[in-house]
Amino acid sequence: MKSLIILILLSAQLLSKDKLNVLFIASDDLRPDLGCYGNTIVHSPNIDRLASESVVFNKAYCQQAVCAPSRASIMSGCRPDTTKVYDLSTPLRSTLPNVLTLPQFYKQQGYETISVGKIYHHNNEDKNSWTQPSWKGPKGDWRNYLNPKYKHVYYPTPAPAWESQDVDDSAYKDGQVVDRAIQHLDQLKSSDKNFFLAVGLVKPHLPFNAPKKYWDLYKENFYNPARREWPQDTPKIAKMGWHELRAYTDIPKDPYSGKRLSKAQDLKLRQGYYACISYIDALIGKLINKLQETGLDKNTVIVLWGDHGFKLGDYGAWCKHSNFEIDTRVPLIIKAPGIKHLKTDSLAELVDVYPTLASLTGHKVPQHCEGSDLSKVMSGQHKGKKAAFSQYPRGKNMGYTVTDGKWRYTEWYNTSSTLVGRELFDHSQGSIAEANLAHKPEFRKIRDQLTKTLNKGQGWKEVKLAMINN
Active site residues: 67, 121
CA distance 34 to 424: 27
Three-state DSSP at 442 gives helix
Q: Which amino acid is at 342?
A: L
CA atoms of 28 and 46, how far apart (whole Å): 17
Q: What is the DSSP string of 105-154?
A: HHHHTT-EEEEEE-SSSSTTTTGGG-SS--B--SSS-TTT-B-TTSSPPP
Q: What angle do CA 72, 76, 78 make, to 5 degrees?
A: 85
* Distance in angstroms (rounded) separating the CA atoms of residues 117 and 57: 24
Give CA–CA dist 189/197, Å, rounded: 12
d(CA 270, CA 256): 21
Q: How far apart are alpha carbons 129 and 340 in whole angstroms?
A: 32
Q: What span, in angstroms and rounded, lies between the C-alpha atoms of 327 and 313?
A: 12
State the DSSP code for 172: B
Rounded Cα–Cα distance for residues 317 and 429 (Å): 20
**Distance between CA atoms of 212 and 410, rounded to whole angstroms?**
41
